[in-house]
C-alpha cells in the first residue's frame, strides 16, 4: 500500500485545482454562448408569402413523410401509384399515447433551422395546439387545398384542425361513439335498445339484478370521459381559443352523467377495468351485453382474438342514448388521426398531392385503413366493405354515418391531454372505491392546473 | 520488498521522481477532448439556460422560482426524497451484503452463476421493461400472483395505487440496477489480497467479522462511489415512474419525479429554462452530498 | 477507519495481532443454520431477479390469448414461437435485424473509443501526478452528476454545428464519453495497483509509457473487462440519445426499435390496426434485444474474476 507522503502531496495541490475547474467551466460557457450565436433558427431564405403563409424556397427533392406503422401501407400505396415521385418514408411512433415526439423534434429543428419533415401523420388530434404558434403547420384552406375537397370531410371532423377559421390539418379518421350491443343476448332476454340515458340506466340496473356479471358499459378506460362526458355535453374541455378554455365540471350536464356511472358501477353492470386490461380479457368474455364506445371498438374489441372475440352475427350498433330534452343529439369521439403539412416544406406541391391522396383515396382508405374515414366519399366505400364482411348482426352503416355528424363541438382539443388527466385523477380513486361524483371537484382542479401550466387562461 | 523501502539517498529519490506532467497529460488527452466536448460544454450550456430566459436575457433566480411554483413541483420533491431513502437503503445493504456473501462462497462457480443471474435484469432497462412489469404487477396474469393476492391486491390498479409507488419504484430500480453494482463490488472484493483473508481465517475469524474488519473497509472507495452515483441517480429518478406510467397508460407514475417534470417542461411546454433550473437544483444537491462523501473519505487521493 | 486502510501495508506477521480475533468458533448446528440461511437468501434473490425473465422467455412461446388465459409459467408451443418469429421479422421487412446491426455497430465503435481514451486516463489519474489531475477528477464528477434531460438540447446543437446529426457519429461520439468508466479505472488502479511496482520500474529506467504498457496494462484485464462490459451495455440500452439524434427508423438501435414496437401493441395503442404487434411478439423482440448483452457478459466475466492480484504485492 502506498506510503503516506503521497497523500500529503495530493492534498497540497487542492487549491490551485479548483480555480482551474472554474476556469474550465468559464471557457466552456463562453464557447456555449458563441455556438448559440452562430447556429440559430434562420427561416427559409428567399421566402415568399403565398397561400396564406410564408413559404420556403421550393426545390426538387424527395418528399419526407413521417408515418406510424399502421399508415406505412398508405405511403407505400402512394409510392406505387406514383412511381415518379421520390418518397422518403420514415416510421415513428405517431405521437401515440401522449408521446411528444413530433413536438420535441420540431423544437430541435427550429433551433437549428433545418430538418423538418414535409408531411406527418399524427395519431392525436391536438397538434394544432402547439403547431400553429410554433409556425410548423401550414394553413390548408388559403389556397393549398381547394374548398371543394375540404367540404367533403364529415361535419365537424376538421374541428381539431381549425384555428381562427384556418384549417391546419386534414383529418384521417373519425372515432365517433355509438352504442355497441349484443343483439342475440338482447333478443334472448327481451330487452329494448335504450334511446335515452335514463332508459340506459334502468336497463343497467335490471341487468345487474337479473343477469349479474353482465356489463352494459365500461368506465375504467382513460378515454372514458370522451365516451360518456363528451356525449353528455359536459363542459370539461371547452377550448374557446388557442389559449383559452372554459372548464365547469360541476354543472348538471356533468353531474348527471357522473351519477349514472356511479349508480351502474355500484350495481355491478358497469366495469371499472380497462377494456384492454388482462382482467377484462379474462373475465368478461361473453359477458358484454352493451358497450358505448367509438367506431373502432368493432374491430379492436369485439372482432379481435386479443379482445372479446365475439362470434359472427351477434354484435350490432345503435345511436348513443340522449338525455331527454336535448335539442341536437350529441355523441363523443375517441381519437382519430390527422395529416399535417409542414410550413417549412420545400416541396409543397408534392406534399399537397400526397396529403390529398391519402385522405381521399378510396383504394387505400377502404382496404387498408382500420378507422372510419373522415373523408365522406371514402367513408361510403369503407362502409360498403365492412358490410361485406358480414360480421355484424345488422347493417350498422347508417348508425355510424349518423353518429359521424353528431360529435358534439363543445369538447375541444387542447394541449393538455384529458385522457392523462382522467387517468391520473379519477382512475386511482375508482380503484379505491370512490364515486365519480365525489371526485368531480378534484377533476376540475386537475384540469385547471394542467391547462394553466400549459399556458391556458381557464375560466370557470 | 521493494527498493523504495530501503535507505535511499535523497538525490536518487529526487532524480527518480518522474516527470509526470508531460506523460500524464498525454495519457488523459483523448479523454479530455471527449470530456470537454460532451461533458463540460453541454453542462455549461445547461447551467446557462437555467439562469437565462428566452432571448438570452439574464434571469437571475426567476426560473427557479417559477419552476418551484408549478403545481407538480412540491409533490415531486416529496416523492424523490422518499424514494431516495428507500432506494439507498436497499441498494447499499443488499449489494454490499450479497457481494460479500458471494465472494466468501467456497465454490467459486456458484458465485459466478449467481452474479450472472442477478445481472440479467440489468439488460431489461427502459422500454423493454414496460411489458415485463405490466405483467409482473398484474395479479391476473403474474407468476407472482399468489404473492400479490396474499398482500391483498386483486387488480393491477390496486397494485400501482399512488401510495404504493414509493415501494414499487425502488424495487424495480433495484431489480435492474443491483446486478451491475454486485458485479462491480465483486471485482472490487477480488482486489483484496487473499493472504489477508487467509491470515484472518487462520486466526479463527468467521465470515461476518472478516467482512466487517477487512473486506468492507478495503472496498470503501467503491462503496462511496456507489453511494454517490446512486444518490445522484436517485434524485434523477425518471425511468421507473416513466415505465409504470407507460404500462398503466398514465394512471400512475406520471409527473412523479422532478426529472419527469423537467422533461415535460422542456419538451411539452418548450420551456427549457425552467427545465434546466430543476436540473441545476438536482445537480447542486448531488454535488453537496458527493462533496461530503468525497472529503470525508479522501476519495481523490492518489493512493 | 484510516488506520484499517494503512495497516494492511505492513501485512506479514503483524496482521493477526492487529485483528485480535475473538476466537469465536461457532458450534456446528449454528454454523449449519447460518449457512442454510445464507443459501436461502441467495436463492430468494435469484428468484426475485430471474422470475420475470423466465416469464418473458415463456411468453415468447405463446399466442396472445394464451398469454392472458394460460398459467404464467407454462410453456406455449414451438409452433407459436415460430409464428411469433415469422411475424416479428416480417415487421417492415426484417427491420429488427437491421436494428440489431445498428446497435452492434454503435455500441462496439463507441466501446473501442471509450477504452482507448478511458483506460490510460484512469491510470494516469490514479498513478501519476500532473497539473490539473484533481481538476479533472472534480470536473468529471460534476459532469457525471448533471441530469441528462437538459444536456440533450445543447448536445443536439453542438452536433448540428459540425453537421453530424443523422450520422452514426451523433450517437457514437457522445457514447464514447464515459466518465463512469474512467472513474472505475481510477479507483481500480488506485486501490489495486501498488505504487511499489511502478516506482521499481521507474528506477529501472522505464518511461511512463513503458511502465503503463508493461506493468499496468497486463494487470488491467479485470478493469478493462469491467469498463468494456458496462460501456457496451450502457450504449446498447441507451434510448433517449438515439431517439433524439437519429431521424430515420432505419438507423435506430434495437432499444428505440422496441419503443416503436410498443406503440403498435393494441393494448397500448388501440388504433394500431393492421400493423398490430402482439404481446408475445414483443416479448420475443425484447429477448432478441437483450441476448447480446448476456453474450458479452459471459465473455467478460472470465476476465473479471481472473485478475486476482495475489501475485503482484509480493516484492
Averaged pLDDT for residues B230-245: 91
The domain ranges of chain A are 49-174+335-374, 177-333+396-459
Mean of pLDDT over chain C: 82
The alpha carbon of B175 is separated from its chain's Cα centroid by a whole number of angstroms, namely: 13
Residues B172 and B283 in one domain: yes
pLDDT digits (tens, 9 = 90+) for B117-163: 998 898 887 778 888 998 999 998 899 999 999 999 988 989 998 88
pLDDT digits (tens, 9 = 90+) for C275-288: 678 899 999 999 99
B165 Cβ under 8 Å from any chain A Cβ: no
Averaged pLDDT for residues C11-26: 44
**Is residue B80 helix, strand or coil?**
helix
Give the H/E segment covering residue B227.
Answer: helix B220-235
Residues B225 and B138 in one domain: yes
Averaged pLDDT for residues C105-129: 92
The domain containing residue B259 runs over which residues? 70-296
Residues B146 and B260 in one domain: yes
In a domain, B61, yes or no: no
Give the model's pLDDT for residue C179.
Answer: 93
User: How many cross-chain Cβ pairs, A to C, lie less than 8 Å apart?
Assistant: 140
Question: For the domain A49-174+335-374, what is the CATH code?
Answer: 3.40.190.10
Cα A257–A258–A264 angle (5° rounding)? 90
Averaged pLDDT for residues A415-426: 92
In a domain, B302, yes or no: no
Rounded distance between C-alpha atoms, residue A344 and residue A340, angstroms = 12
What residues of A are in contact with residue C9 (Cβ under 8 Å)? 1-2
Residues B116 and B264 in one domain: yes
Number of domains in chain B: 2
In a domain, B124, yes or no: yes
Nearest CA in chain B to A281: B140
Asked whether C88 and C285 are in contact (CB, 8 A), the reply is yes
Residues 6+ apart with CB under 8 A from B151: none
Residue A24 binned pLDDT confidence (cut-offs 50, 70, 90): low
Asked whether A395 and A387 are in contact (CB, 8 A), the reply is yes
What residues of A are in contact with residue C138 (Cβ under 8 Å)? 17-18, 21
Between C8, C154, C267, which is nearest A276 by CB? C267
Q: Do C19 and B213 touch (CB under 8 A)?
A: yes
Give the model's pLDDT for residue C91.
Answer: 81
Residues B115 and B243 in one domain: yes
Average the pLDDT over each of A253-262, B238-247, B285-294, C26-35 and give the range with the smallest value.
C26-35
What residues of C are in contact with residue B94 (Cβ under 8 Å)? 45
Report CA dihedral (B241, B243, B249, B252) to the nearest 10 degrees. -20
* CATH number 3.40.190.10 is the correct assignment for the domain at A177-333+396-459: yes
Give the model's pLDDT for residue C272.
Answer: 67
pLDDT digits (tens, 9 = 90+) for B59-107: 889 999 999 999 999 999 999 999 999 999 999 999 999 999 888 888 8
**C13: pLDDT strictly greater than 80:** no
Q: What does the DSSP assignment read for A277-316? A: SHHHHHH-TT-BSEEEEETTHIIIIIS-TTTT-PPTT-EE
CATH number at residue B241: 1.10.3720.10
Other CB atoms within a 10 A radius of the CB of residue B127 amount to 26
Given phi > 0 = left and psi -120 to 50 = alpha, else beta, which region is A98? Answer: left
Supply B116's cell numbers: 450472472
pLDDT digits (tens, 9 = 90+) for C48-70: 999 999 999 999 999 988 888 88
Give the model's pLDDT for residue C165.
Answer: 86
Give the model's pLDDT for residue B209.
Answer: 80
Give the model's pLDDT for residue C274.
Answer: 61
Rounded distance between C-alpha atoms, residue A419 and residue A229, angstroms = 12
**C106: pLDDT strictly greater than 60:** yes
pLDDT digits (tens, 9 = 90+) for A199-257: 999 999 999 999 999 999 999 999 999 999 999 999 999 999 889 999 999 999 999 99
Residues B13 and B93 in one domain: no
What residues of A are in contact with residue B70 (Cβ under 8 Å)? 453
Q: Do domains A49-174+335-374 and A177-333+396-459 have the same CATH topology?
A: yes
In degrees and rounded to multiples of 5, residue A166 shows phi and psi of -100, 140
User: How many cross-chain Cβ pairs, A to B, lie less than 8 Å apart?
Assistant: 117
Give the model's pLDDT for residue A10.
Answer: 34
In a domain, B128, yes or no: yes
Average the pLDDT over each of A156-160, B8-12, B187-191 and give the range with the smallest value.
B8-12
Nearest CA in chain C to B262: C149
Nearest CA in chain A to C277: A69
Average the pLDDT over each of A429-438, B159-168, B210-219 and give the range with the smallest value.
B210-219
Residues B77 and B32 in one domain: no
Give the model's pLDDT for residue C15.
Answer: 37
Other CB atoms within a 10 A radius of the CB of residue A326 amount to 14
Give the model's pLDDT for residue B303.
Answer: 44
pLDDT digits (tens, 9 = 90+) for C187-210: 888 887 888 888 888 888 788 888
In a domain, B62, yes or no: no
Q: Do B269 and A453 touch (CB under 8 A)?
A: yes
The alpha carbon of A200 is separated from its chain's Cα centroid by a whole number of angstroms, namely: 27
A29 Cβ under 8 Å from any chain B Cβ: yes
Q: Which ipTM value was assigned to this complex?
A: 0.83
**C186: pLDDT strictly greater than 50:** yes
What residues of B are in contact with residue A100 (Cβ under 8 Å)? 267-268
Asked whether A446 and A454 are in contact (CB, 8 A), the reply is no
Cα A392–A398–A400 angle (5° rounding)? 75
pLDDT digits (tens, 9 = 90+) for B94-124: 999 999 988 888 888 888 889 889 988 988 8
Give the model's pLDDT for residue A388.
Answer: 81
In a domain, B82, yes or no: yes
Residues B4 and B136 in one domain: no
Between C52, C73, C307, which is nearest B132 by CB? C52
Q: CA of A189 to nearest chain C CA: how many angstroms apart?
A: 29
List chains touching C (3+ CB pairs under 8 A).
Answer: A, B
Give the H/E segment covering residue A53.
Answer: strand A53-55
Averaged pLDDT for residues C69-91: 89
Q: Which of B9, B13, B18, B271 to mutate to test the interface with C (most CBs of C within 10 A)?
A: B18
Among C residues 124-183, those touching chain B with beta carbons less than 8 Å apart: 124-134, 136-151, 153-155, 157-158, 173-174, 176-177, 179-180, 182-183
List chains touching B (3+ CB pairs under 8 A).
Answer: A, C
Q: Which of C150, C177, C216, C256 to mutate to test the interface with B (most CBs of B within 10 A)?
A: C150
Rounded distance between C-alpha atoms, residue A237 and residue B1, angstroms = 81
Average the pLDDT over each of A44-53, B133-142, C12-21 and give the range with the smallest value.
C12-21
Q: CA of A293 to nearest chain C CA: how many angstroms apart?
A: 12
Mean of pLDDT over chain A: 86
Checking C65-68 for CB contacts under 8 A at 24+ apart, the result is C65/A305, C65/A306, C65/A309, C66/C280, C67/B141, C67/C279, C67/C280, C68/A278, C68/A281, C68/A282, C68/B140, C68/B141
Rounded distance between C-alpha atoms, residue A219 and residue A223, angstroms = 9
Nearest CA in chain A to C156: A108
Asked whether C305 and B112 are in contact (CB, 8 A), the reply is yes
Give the model's pLDDT for residue A434.
Answer: 94
Supply A25's cell numbers: 467551466
Residues B142 and B30 in one domain: no
Rounded distance between C-alpha atoms, residue A217 and residue A225, angstroms = 13
Rounded distance between C-alpha atoms, residue A106 and residue A94, angstroms = 14
Residue with the larger pLDDT of the pair A12 and C95:
C95
Rounded distance between C-alpha atoms, residue C31 and residue B216, angstroms = 22
The alpha carbon of B60 is separated from its chain's Cα centroid by a whole number of angstroms, namely: 31
Give the model's pLDDT for residue A16.
Answer: 42
Edge to edge, the sheet with strand A235-241 lists: A235-241, A244-248, A457-459
- C279-306 and C221-237 are packed helices; what angle lies between their axes, rounded to 10 degrees? 170
What residues of B are in contact with residue C116 (Cβ under 8 Å)? 30
Q: Could you tell me which residues are beta bridge partners of residue A180?
A: A291, A317
Q: What does the DSSP assignment read for chain C? A: -HHHHHGGGGHHHHHHHHH--------HHHHHHHHHHHHHHHHHHHHHHHHHHHHHHHHTTS-HHHHHHS-TTS---HHHHHHHHHHHHHTTTTHHHHHHHHHHHHHHHHHHHHHHHHHHHHHHHHH---TTHHHHHHHHHHHHHS-SGGGHHHHHHHHHHTT-TTSTHHHHHHHH--HHHHHHHHHHHHHHS-HHHHHHHHHTT--HHHHIIIIIHHHTHHHHHHHHHHHHHHHHH--HHHHHH--SGGG--HHHHHHHHHTT-TTT-GGGGGG---HHHHHHHHHHHHHHHHHHHHHHHHHHHH--GGGTT--
List chains touching A (3+ CB pairs under 8 A).
Answer: B, C
Residues 6+ apart with CB under 8 A from A21: C135, C138, C139, C142
* Rounded CA Rg of chain B: 24
In a domain, B65, yes or no: no
Residues B90 and B16 in one domain: no
Residues 6+ apart with CB under 8 A from A338: A121, A122, A124, A125, A127, A160, A161, A169, A170, A171, A172
Give the model's pLDDT for residue A23.
Answer: 52
Averaged pLDDT for residues A354-363: 83
In a domain, B23, yes or no: yes
Amino acid at each position: 500500500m502506498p506510503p503516506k507522503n503521497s497523500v500529503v502531496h495530493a492534498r497540497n495541490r487542492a487549491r490551485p485545482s479548483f480555480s482551474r475547474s472554474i476556469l474550465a467551466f468559464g471557457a466552456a460557457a463562453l464557447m456555449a454562448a458563441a455556438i448559440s450565436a452562430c447556429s440559430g433558427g434562420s427561416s427559409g431564405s428567399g421566402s415568399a408569402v403565398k397561400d396564406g403563409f410564408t413559404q420556403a424556397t421550393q426545390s426538387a427533392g424527395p418528399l419526407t413523410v413521417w408515418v406510424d406503422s399502421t399508415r406505412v401501407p398508405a405511403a407505400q400505396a402512394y409510392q406505387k401509384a406514383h412511381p415518379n415521385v421520390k418518397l422518403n418514408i420514415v416510421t415513428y411512433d405517431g405521437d401515440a399515447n401522449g408521446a411528444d415526439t413530433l413536438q420535441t423534434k420540431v423544437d430541435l429543428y427550429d433551433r437549428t433551422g433545418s430538418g423538418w419533415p414535409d408531411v406527418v401523420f399524427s395519431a392525436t388530434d391536438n397538434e394544432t395546439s402547439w403547431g400553429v404558434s410554433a409556425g410548423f403547420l401550414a394553413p390548408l384552406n388559403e389556397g393549398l387545398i381547394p374548398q371543394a375537397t375540404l367540404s367533403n370531410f364529415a361535419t365537424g371532423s376538421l374541428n381539431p384542425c381549425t384555428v381562427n377559421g384556418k384549417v391546419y390539418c386534414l383529418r384521417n379518421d373519425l372515432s365517433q361513439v355509438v352504442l355497441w350491443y349484443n343483439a342475440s343476448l338482447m333478443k334472448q332476454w327481451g330487452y329494448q335498445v335504450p334511446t335515452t340515458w335514463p332508459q340506459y340506466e334502468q336497463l343497467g340496473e335490471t341487468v345487474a339484478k337479473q343477469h349479474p356479471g353482465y356489463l352494459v358499459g365500461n368506465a375504467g378506460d382513460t378515454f372514458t370521459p370522451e365516451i360518456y362526458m363528451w356525449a353528455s355535453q359536459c363542459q370539461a374541455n371547452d377550448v374557446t381559443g388557442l389559449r383559452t378554455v372554459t372548464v365547469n365540471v360541476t354543472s348538471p350536464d356533468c353531474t348527471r352523467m357522473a351519477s349514472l356511472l356511479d349508480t351502474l358501477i355500484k350495481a355491478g353492470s358497469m366495469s371499472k377495468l380497462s377494456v384492454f386490461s388482462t382482467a377484462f380479457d379474462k373475465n368478461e368474455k361473453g359477458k358484454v351485453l352493451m358497450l358505448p364506445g367509438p367506431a373502432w371498438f368493432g374491430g379492436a374489441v369485439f372482432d379481435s382474438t386479443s379482445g372479446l372475440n365475439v362470434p359472427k352475427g351477434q354484435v350490432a350498433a345503435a345511436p348513443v342514448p340522449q338525455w331527454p330534452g336535448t335539442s341536437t343529439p350529441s355523441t363523443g369521439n375517441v381519437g382519430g388521426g390527422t395529416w399535417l403539412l409542414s410550413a417549412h416544406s420545400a416541396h409543397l406541391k408534392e406534399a399537397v398531392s400526397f396529403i390529398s391522396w391519402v385522405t381521399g383515396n378510396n383504394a387505400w382508405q377502404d382496404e387498408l385503413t382500420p378507422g372510419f374515414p373522415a373523408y365522406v366519399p371514402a367513408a361510403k366505400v369503407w362502409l360498403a366493405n365492412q358490410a361485406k364482411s358480414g360480421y355484424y348482426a345488422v347493417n350498422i352503416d347508417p348508425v355510424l354515418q349518423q353518429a359521424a355528424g353528431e360529435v358534439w363541438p363543445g369538447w375541444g382539443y387542447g394541449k393538455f391531454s384529458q385522457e392523462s388527466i382522467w387517468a391520473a385523477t379519477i382512475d386511482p380513486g375508482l380503484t379505491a372505491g370512490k364515486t365519480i361524483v365525489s371526485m368531480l371537484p378534484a377533476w376540475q382542479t386537475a384540469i385547471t392546473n394542467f391547462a394553466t401550466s400549459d399556458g391556458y387562461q381557464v375560466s370557470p | 520488498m521493494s527498493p523504495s523501502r530501503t535507505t535511499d539517498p535523497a538525490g536518487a529519490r529526487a532524480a527518480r521522481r518522474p516527470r509526470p506532467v508531460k506523460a500524464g497529460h498525454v495519457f488523459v488527452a483523448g479523454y479530455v477532448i471527449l470530456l470537454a466536448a460532451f461533458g463540460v460544454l453541454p453542462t455549461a450550456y445547461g447551467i446557462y439556460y437555467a439562469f437565462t430566459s428566452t432571448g438570452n436575457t439574464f434571469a437571475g433566480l426567476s426560473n427557479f422560482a417559477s419552476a418551484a411554483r408549478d403545481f407538480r413541483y412540491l409533490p415531486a420533491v416529496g416523492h424523490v426524497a422518499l424514494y431516495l431513502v428507500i432506494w439507498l437503503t436497499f441498494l447499499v445493504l443488499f449489494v454490499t451484503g450479497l457481494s460479500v456473501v458471494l465472494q466468501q462462497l467456497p465454490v467459486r462457480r456458484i458465485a459466478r452463476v449467481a452474479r450472472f443471474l442477478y445481472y440479467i435484469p440489468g439488460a431489461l432497462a427502459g422500454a423493454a421493461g414496460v411489458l415485463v412489469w405490466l405483467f409482473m404487477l398484474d395479479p391476473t396474469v403474474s407468476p407472482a400472483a399468489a404473492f400479490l393476492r396474499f398482500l391483498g391486491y386483486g387488480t393491477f390498479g390496486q397494485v400501482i395505487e399512488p401510495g404504493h409507488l414509493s415501494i414499487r419504484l425502488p424495487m424495480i430500480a433495484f431489480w435492474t440496477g443491483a446486478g451491475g453494482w454486485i458485479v462491480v463490488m465483486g471485482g472490487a472484493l477480488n482486489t483484496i489480497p487473499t493472504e489477508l483473508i487467509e491470515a484472518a481465517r487462520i486466526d479463527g475469524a468467521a465470515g461476518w467479522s472478516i467482512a466487517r474488519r477487512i473486506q468492507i473497509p478495503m472496498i470503501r472507495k467503491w462503496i462511496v462511489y456507489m453511494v454517490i452515483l446512486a444518490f445522484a441517480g436517485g434524485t434523477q429518478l425518471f425511468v421507473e415512474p416513466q415505465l409504470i406510467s407507460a404500462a398503466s397508460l398514465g394512471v400512475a407514475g406520471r409527473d412523479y419525479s422532478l426529472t419527469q417534470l423537467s422533461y415535460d417542461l422542456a419538451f411539452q411546454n418548450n420551456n427549457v429554462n425552467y427545465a434546466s433550473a430543476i436540473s441545476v437544483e438536482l445537480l447542486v444537491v448531488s454535488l453537496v452530498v458527493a462533496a461530503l462523501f468525497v472529503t470525508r473519505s479522501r476519495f481523490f487521493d492518489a493512493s | 477507519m484510516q488506520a484499517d486502510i494503512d495497516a494492511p501495508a505492513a501485512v506479514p506477521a503483524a496482521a493477526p495481532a492487529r485483528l485480535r480475533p475473538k476466537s469465536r468458533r461457532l458450534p456446528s448446528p449454528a454454523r449449519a443454520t447460518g449457512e442454510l440461511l445464507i443459501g436461502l437468501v441467495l436463492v430468494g434473490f435469484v428468484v426475485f431477479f430471474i422470475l420475470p425473465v423466465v416469464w418473458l422467455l415463456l411468453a415468447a412461446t405463446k399466442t396472445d390469448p394464451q398469454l392472458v388465459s394460460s398459467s404464467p409459467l407454462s410453456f406455449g408451443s414451438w409452433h407459436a414461437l415460430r409464428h411469433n418469429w415469422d411475424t416479428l421479422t416480417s415487421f417492415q421487412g426484417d427491420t429488427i435485424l437491421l436494428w440489431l446491426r445498428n446497435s452492434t455497430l454503435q455500441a462496439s465503435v463507441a466501446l473501442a473509443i471509450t477504452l482507448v481514451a478511458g483506460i490510460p486516463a484512469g491510470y494516469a489519474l490514479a498513478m501519476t501526478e500532473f497539473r490539473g489531475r484533481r481538476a479533472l477528477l472534480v470536473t468529471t464528477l460534476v459532469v457525471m452528476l448533471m441530469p441528462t434531460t437538459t444536456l440533450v438540447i445543447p448536445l443536439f446543437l453542438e452536433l448540428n454545428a459540425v453537421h453530424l446529426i443523422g450520422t452514426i457519429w451523433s450517437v457514437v461520439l457522445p457514447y464514447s464519453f464515459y466518465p463512469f468508466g474512467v472513474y472505475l479505472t481510477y479507483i481500480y488502479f488506485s486501490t489495486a495497483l501498488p505504487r511499489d511496482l511502478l516506482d521499481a520500474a521507474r528506477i529501472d529506467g522505464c518511461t511512463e509509457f513503458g511502465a503503463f504498457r508493461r506493468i499496468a496494462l497486463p494487470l488491467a484485464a479485470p478493469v478493462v473487462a469491467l469498463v468494456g462490459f458496462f460501456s457496451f451495455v450502457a450504449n446498447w440500452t441507451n434510448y433517449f440519445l438515439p431517439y433524439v439524434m437519429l431521424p430515420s427508423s432505419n438507423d435506430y438501435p434495437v432499444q428505440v426499435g422496441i419503443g416503436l414496437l410498443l406503440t403498435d401493441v393494441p393494448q397500448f395503442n388501440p388504433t394500431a390496426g393492421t400493423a398490430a404487434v402482439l404481446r408475445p411478439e414483443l416479448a420475443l423482440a425484447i429477448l432478441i434485444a437483450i441476448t447480446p448483452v448476456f453474450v458479452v457478459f459471459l465473455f467478460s466475466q472470465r476476465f473479471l474474476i481472473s485478475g486476482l492480484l495475489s501475485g503482484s504485492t509480493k516484492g
